[in-house]
Amino acid sequence: MNKNFLRLLALVCAASPAMLSAQAPKDAIVITDTDIKAVLKMAADTKRTVPDNSLRVIDMGSYQLAVGIVARGKLAPAPAAAAPAAAPANTQPACGQQRAGATGPNGIYHDSTAETYIVTSGSGTLITGGTIVNGRRSPADSEVTTILNGPSCNGTMVGFTSRVINVGDVIVIPEGVPHGFSAIPDHITYLSVRPDLKKVLKKNYVNPALAGKQRSAVADDATGGAGRGIPAARAEATSADRRVGAASTERGKPATGPVASRAVGTAGTRSLPTFDIDRNWPKVPAQWKLGDVSSFSVDADGRIWALHRPRTLVKPEDVPKRAPAVMVFDAAGNYVKSWGGDGAGYEWPQREHGINIDSKGFVWITGNNCPTNGIANLKHVADDQILKFTQDGKFVMQIGHSNQSKGNADTTNVHRAADVQYNARTNELFVADGYGNHRVIVFDADSGKFKRMWGAFGNKPVDDDHCEVVTPKEFPAGDGPKNFSIVHAIRLSKDGTIYVADRENRRVQSFTPDGKFVKQIVKTDTQFARDLAFSADPNQEFLYVGNGNDIVIVDRKAMQIVGSIKLPGQIGGGHHIATDSKGNIYIAGTTMGLQKLTFKGMSTTSTN
């Protein structure tokens, strides 16, 4: 990349310690050409479907500054007589003007962030101004809203101005101004600098490709030796013991206040797993593309089942390449088979979310669509059903029905369920239910008959239904809320313990199979409890927990953090994760792509 452009990117911001404060920065941070190439390489390696990549969100004191790199591929000019844009249903969040029959290219405007483009390669026809019609709001939990541009409106552009932009051009787009591209001959890549005056973006976000660099810049000893060549999954263990914000509590023994050393292990040494990234996994057939990969599961033969969202591929040239929603690969990444989508006798979810292969070989699928989430190409219904198939895609059973949930008291339907686990001892299906409900619900796996359910701490679940992802603004000391937030992942250990990821409350709770609360671990200073998986050893010594930009290693019995997996180029903690019998970890990162972490063995690490 031309160094002249990098000089424009010498951003005045806080050096490492100051980054943690709300004060104005005292020094500069430079995002280098190497950084940008690393982010673009990760996007390509992980088959990321979104062209916009946030590099970081910098706290400037009274406001934030987001910096991104955008790499768009070829875009053919829209035909002269495009099909009329359909107006959104009444339940969809409206934005822009509603104008039946309007045609034109797609565009977007951002409510509270301006943008400055600096074109570094390629060219394209940029369209700006005019009006967005038949628009839809960006979902509250989408990357656009949380780390890229803040709340936005996407729809058909009319009355705009066109101009061709080339390498070296700088374009300033004020907040609220519609913009987009109507044609790109080959490609266009540009830096995007976005002042965030209202601080709506995720504070201090760092792209996973740069996370390792940020750690080493803070202090070598704060990474436990990562800067001295120790593998990241090993090096993170010592710093984990010093992290504030993780507390383990048992029922009747609540945390009474801040704990100074919440991730404490036994002083001395401990063996922890280490990993490398397999950058060649998987091998998707050339005729197909994957949308946002939502979930993984591993069958008894060691094959990896990926569930993705084909309808997130919306570019005209990508639509014919949509791969089936269920894709199966072997451990080496070779394609095995695929199936999925609408069919006779069942209601396929609008927004695919979770997949699980039970010990009998059946495939379970869940979805989390909401009628008012504003996502294009989806019906305005709630995914209130669970589907059961054979491994060849033959329909077996459906529990619940689309858009029929009556809330947490409903024992027939789920409500945007996130994940399932099968208990072979009792032939029961345990469901993380989910986004709309706030409970664990158990069904007979053959008949679909309701068995029992429970909420946080074994309490009766309370209705609190909304499409928006609501994260608490503060986390008071103590046990935490009496109700689950998003019940995002569920795992059943070999010894019969149920583990539940209560995502927005940033805690993992454990239960007996009949719903009696056992223990919890809470870590509120990071995005803890995104997903769950067990280590592959016979005793399942470790519970892996998605933690935003890394995967935390938890001593499963003690419910204490003993380490972290955070490799250079890792796509973060994922949306859902799974492990195979060899100890490898598979990360489904939705818009971040997908990734395999290859288990490299155990390494003895200091824990004092």
Q: What pLDDT is attached to residue 407? A: 97
Contact 535, 542 (CB under 8 A): yes
Among candidates 1, 133, 240, 141, which has minimal Cα distance to 530? Answer: 141
Whether 26 shows a pLDDT value over 80: the answer reads no
Distance CA 280, CA 190 (A): 27
The number of angstroms, rounded, from the C-alpha of 286 to the middle of its chain's C-alpha atoms is 25
When mean pLDDT is compared across 23-37, 75-89, 250-264, 351-365, the lowest value belongs to 250-264
pLDDT of residue 466: 87
CB atoms within 10 A of CB 301: 12
Give me the chain's average pLDDT, please.
86
What's the average model confidence in pLDDT over 559-566? 96
pLDDT of residue 446 exceeding 50, the answer is yes
pLDDT: which is higher, 142 or 305: 305
The reported pLDDT for the residue numbered 263 is 36
pLDDT of residue 250: 66
What's the CA gap between 154 and 138, in Å, rounded? 7
Q: How far apart are CA 361 and CA 363, in angstroms?
A: 7
Mean pLDDT of 197-222: 68
pLDDT (tens digit per residue) in 307-350: 999 999 999 999 999 999 999 999 999 999 999 999 999 999 99
Task: Kindly report, residue by residue over 528-553, the tens digit of the pLDDT.
Answer: 999 999 999 999 999 999 998 999 99
pLDDT at 176: 92
Query: Which pLDDT score is estimated for 23?
Result: 60
CA-nearest of 266, 265, 258, 272 to 525 is: 258
pLDDT at 606: 65
In degrees and rounded to multiples of 5, residue 222 shows phi and psi of -75, -10
406 pLDDT more than 60: yes
Query: Where does the pLDDT of residue 89 fall: very low under 50, low under 70, confident under 90, or very high at 90 and above?
Result: very low
Beta bridge partners of 428: 423, 444
Residue 450, pLDDT > 90, answer yes
In a 13 Å sphere around the CA of 551, the CA atoms on its Cβ side amount to 37
Q: What are phi and psi of 497, to 5 degrees?
A: -85, 135
- Give the whole-number percent of the chain exceeding pLDDT 70: 84
Amino acid 103: pLDDT: 79
pLDDT for the residue numbered 440: 98
Residue 417 pLDDT more than 50? yes
CB neighbour list of residue 90: distance below 8 Å, 6 or more residues apart: none
As a whole number of angstroms, the distance between CA 320 and CA 312 comes to 13
- pLDDT given at position 117: 96
DSSP state of 85: P
Question: What is the tens place of the pLDDT at every residue in 496-538?
Answer: 999 999 999 999 999 999 999 999 999 999 999 999 999 999 9
List, in order of start, the domains of the chain with CATH numbers. Answer: 3-205 (2.60.120.10), 236-273+336-576 (2.40.128.630)
Helix 208-218, helix 33-45: angle, nearest 10: 140
Which of 92-101, 110-119, 256-265 has the highest average model confidence (pLDDT)? 110-119
Does residue 156 contact residue 110 with C-beta atoms inside 8 Å?
A: no
Mean pLDDT (whole number) for 140-148: 88
Reference 151, options 182, 175, 127, 126; nearest CA is 175
pLDDT digits 0-9 by tens, 147-186: 999 999 989 998 899 999 999 999 999 999 999 999 999 8
How would you classify the pairing of strands 551-555 and 188-196?
unpaired
Shortest CA distance to 488 belongs to which of 440, 526, 525, 522?
Answer: 440
Q: Does position 92 have pLDDT exceeding 70, yes or no?
A: no
Confidence of residue 256 (pLDDT cuts 50, 70, 90): very low
- Bridge partners, residue 349, by sequence: none
**Type and span of the H or E element at 143:** helix 143-143
How confident is the model at residue 594, as a pLDDT? 97
Tens digits of residue pLDDT in 383-401: 999 999 999 999 999 999 9
